[in-house]
A and B are shown apart, each in its own frame.
Chain A
Amino acid sequence: MSLKYLKQALRDGYETLTSRRVYLVCLIVVPIAFTLFFLNLMDEGLPRKVPAGVVDLDHSTLSRNVVRSLNSSELVDIVDRSESFHEAMEKVRSGKTFGFFMIPENFQRDSQNGQQPTISYYCNLTFFVPGSLMFKGFKTTAVTTAGGIVQTNLISRGLTDGTASTLVQPVAIQQQQIGNPWVNYNYYLTNSFVPAIIALMVVLVTSYSICSEIKRGNSRRWLDRAGGSIVVALAGKLIPQAVIEICVALACLAIMFGFNHFPLNCPPWHIALAMTMMVLASQAFAVTVCCLITNLRLAVSICSLCGILAFSLAAFSFPVPNMYPAVGVFSYILPVRYYFEIYIDQALNGIPLYYSRYFYMALALFPVVPLALLWRMKRRMLDMVYIG
């Protein structure tokens, strides 16, 4: 008997999906297009060759040497040669360069007679990534310039080449980047932002499809056709969506890990399972919000506000342990946070599945929450008051 209702509800759910263009766009076009957008936007991996300026006040052989070695660095690209600090600063303020390297007057003379001239470099950190890369490039050049002169001095005093170069840098700390040795920005950002967009669209579509039934005054009929059972009604509406969403989400994963060879240090099903569970958890999240908030239009607004806050709160850039505890705790109500943790553990670091168990369990718990609240939604569907 209830199977008949379920079939009917599923057919209704499928028909609502095909009835409006906006569902098709949000469920299929947006996630796929967004993935391709990210991959294409950052296909270089790192924005090398930061536009930089040089102020050479010395115009000597040594200073020209420094400028040449600066320009040969893979990180910076000298696009401007100014003749004063103010001129160079103006270029930064108008956005032509991201910073500049300044060699003082009498640089060559002072460095050779032991007067310690000072090289200064200015990096505009209002744009973090190019600013940091430029800082690294400038610092390397500044340090190696000084080191080179030290080394020459030491060798001229009769030390061997080997000892002299050791004296320049006696201790070296090699940094090994586990999982992303190229420090590829694309791997880093796409792996967090694409799932977050998928979660955002799932939450929006779920809440919108429930809301629009009530808005159009259809909710009583919807419930009747499902045999009066809210669970059957919701299942009928959400299962067709979930099928499409999961297929699209897995397709996005395939584009990233399959076709673009993103680092994947675990069996593919670990991450596919996490993604599937995240889609279902996001649906559950939206249903919970719809149950809790009386005004259903407000529910859609809340869902969209949460979905967009998730990009910051799920700590894709600023880690949770360093947030204020009162703020960081909110990241644990977001399904995408757990997906991201699983991605880090499994795909990036490739650690045993055992250590990610709690994240999978958390994702599995999300769908249980709304079950306890569905009675609220049913009551509201029976007495339809649409608050505008």
Chain B
Amino acid sequence: MKRIFKNISSGAVDLMRVWRREFYLVFHDAGVLLFFFLLTLGYPIVYTVIYNPEILENIPVAVVDNSRTSASRELTRMIDATQGMEVYDCVANMQEARKLWNEHKVYGILLIPEDYAHRLGRGEQAVATFYSEMSLLLRYRTFMSCLADVQLAAGADIRQELVDMIGLPAQDVNKMPVESEAYLIGDPTQGFASFIMPGIVVLILQQSMLLGVTMLAAGIKERRRRNGGFDPESVQTSPMITIWGKALCYVTLYLPLCIYVLDLVPLMFSLPHVGDFRQMYLFIFPMLLATAFLGQAISVFVTERESSMLVIVFTSVVFLFLSGLTWPRYAMNSFWTWIGDAVPATWGVEGFIRMNSNGGELWQQSHPYTMLWILAAVYMLAAYAVTRYTRIGMETRMLRRA
């Protein structure tokens, strides 16, 4: 009985020693400080500033008006009046419009055919054609919604005229029998920053921690190479206590950063932020823990401080896509869904967005939340295995035996 207590207390003391030592190492390493602090503090701002204009306004388009009637000019004016589009120039023919397009002055061409007004007058459907540049789908999407609105509005006006002409009782036609209302939830202004930032900030938390943790681990390896296989800075204790002590250090460093990244950044840029922050805080905790262990597990691949960047940086893009932020997870094949399942940020992004932007409660995120705890457990075991069965662990055990 006494021995159990003694073991527990000595384990706790060791845990605190590892924890303290790791703090010391973090704060005496410019590279790690850069990743842990500068990256998490700076990147959310840089990214939001890039996307902060949120929506596309007044994209220039050219108009080729072959009809040259008041009806076609009315259509042109309506296009010009939309929020998303602006008539850059009315040109004589398609050749001139193509020239503007080639010179990158316009991103779309509206062609109003000769018979536009004729057809309207005859009571037939009038068709105009819009040629859309497809390099950026956000632009295409803006065109699409503006044109749909113009089409409906122009249609209503013209219907009114036709109905007056035919002599039907007007309210029959002009009053639509069914009204419809669209509600865009989570991102009511359809802003781009409001959509992408809540996901990006979670990814920044994970990636910056992975970079820092692998760099610290590579630092140990470098010191060991210099000191004949022995690292003077490490606390000699069991592998389990080592990985927990380090993980505690990283998580305690990141908890205050989370307040900034997950609460202050959305407030600063008035991004969607409707959920209960205390619940988000609880939600993000297992992700931090899982990431801290994941970082220790994958540090087996990194032998040199700088190469941690080579190995980790490009994964940000892969993880961004696996998280389903741009390409939804239901459309991925099961292989990529599985890989995505193994990344803490996938669940972190999914749950955080639903809480932050849709106002979900923690209990509604039970699936991602459970998955995060499972990942934390799995990566803890992986980190344990790595620490125990690689040379660091072996050498510690030999020292303890000696």
Q: Which residues of A does B touch, CB under 8 Å?
A: 22, 25-26, 30, 34, 37-38, 40-42, 44, 47-51, 90, 92-95, 98-99, 107, 111-112, 114, 116-132, 135-136, 138-139, 142-143, 145-146, 149-150, 153-154, 157, 159, 162-163, 165-167, 169-180, 183, 185, 188-189, 193, 196-197, 200-201, 204-205, 208, 211-212, 215, 297-298, 300-301, 304-305, 307-309, 311-313, 315-319, 322-324, 327, 344-345, 348-349, 351-352, 355, 388
- Which A residues are in CB contact (< 8 Å) with B30? 388
The residue of chain B having its C-beta at the shortest distance from the C-beta of A160 within the complex is B123
Q: Is the CB of B332 within 8 A of A200?
A: no
Q: Is the CB of A139 within 8 A of B129?
A: no
Contact of B132 with A by CB under 8 A = yes
Q: Is the CB of B123 within 8 A of A166?
A: yes
Q: Is the CB of B184 within 8 A of A123?
A: yes
- Among all A-B residue pairs, the 8 with the closest Cβ atoms: A47-B331, A126-B186, A93-B360, A142-B180, A125-B187, A180-B134, A344-B135, A170-B158
Contact indicator per residue, chain B 43-83, by CB within 8 Å of chain A (1) or not (0): 00011011111001101000000000000000100000000
Report, as a range, how many residues of chain B touch the other chain.
35 or more
Question: Count the A-B residue pairs with Cβ separation under 8 angstroms: how many?
Answer: 328
Q: Is the CB of A173 within 8 A of B128?
A: yes
SS class, residues of chain A in contact with chain B: helix
Q: Is the CB of A174 within 8 A of B128?
A: yes
A-B contact pairs, 19 of them (CB 8 A): A25-B311, A34-B318, A40-B336, A93-B354, A95-B365, A116-B176, A125-B188, A135-B182, A170-B125, A170-B155, A174-B128, A177-B132, A178-B133, A201-B314, A208-B310, A211-B306, A308-B317, A309-B46, A318-B51
Distance between Cα atoms of A123 and B190 in the complex (Å): 11
Closest Cβ–Cβ distance, residue B227 to chain A (whole Å) = 16
Contact of B175 with A by CB under 8 A = yes
Closest Cβ–Cβ distance, residue B125 to chain A (whole Å) = 5
Closest Cβ–Cβ distance, residue B126 to chain A (whole Å) = 5
Contact indicator per residue, chain B 312-345, by CB within 8 Å of chain A (1) or not (0): 0110111001001111101111001000000000
Checking A174, A189, A351 against B326 with a beta-carbon cut-off of 8 angstroms, the contacting residue is A189
Contact of B31 with A by CB under 8 A = yes
Using A135-B184, A150-B173, A201-B314 as known contacts, say yes or no to A167 and B195 having CB atoms under 8 A apart: no
- Which B residues are in CB contact (< 8 Å) with A308? 313, 316-317
Distance between Cα atoms of A344 and B127 in the complex (Å): 28
Closest Cβ–Cβ distance, residue A56 to chain B (whole Å) = 14
Closest Cβ–Cβ distance, residue B316 to chain A (whole Å) = 6
Q: Is the CB of B354 within 8 A of A171?
A: no
- Which A residues are in CB contact (< 8 Å) with B50? 312-313, 318, 323, 327
Of the candidates A37, A50, A167, the one having the most CB atoms from chain B within 10 angstroms of its own CB is A167
Distance between Cα atoms of A215 and B307 in the complex (Å): 13
Using A204-B310, A208-B307 as known contacts, say yes or no to A185 and B137 having CB atoms under 8 A apart: yes
Q: Is the CB of B131 within 8 A of A178?
A: yes
Contact of B399 with A by CB under 8 A = no
Distance between Cα atoms of A338 and B324 in the complex (Å): 28
Using A125-B186, A149-B177, A297-B31 as known contacts, say yes or no to A163 and B123 having CB atoms under 8 A apart: yes
Checking B75, B173, B181, B190 against A167 with a beta-carbon cut-off of 8 angstroms, the contacting residue is B173
Closest Cβ–Cβ distance, residue B37 to chain A (whole Å) = 13
- Which A residues are in CB contact (< 8 Å) with B102? 345, 349, 351-352, 355
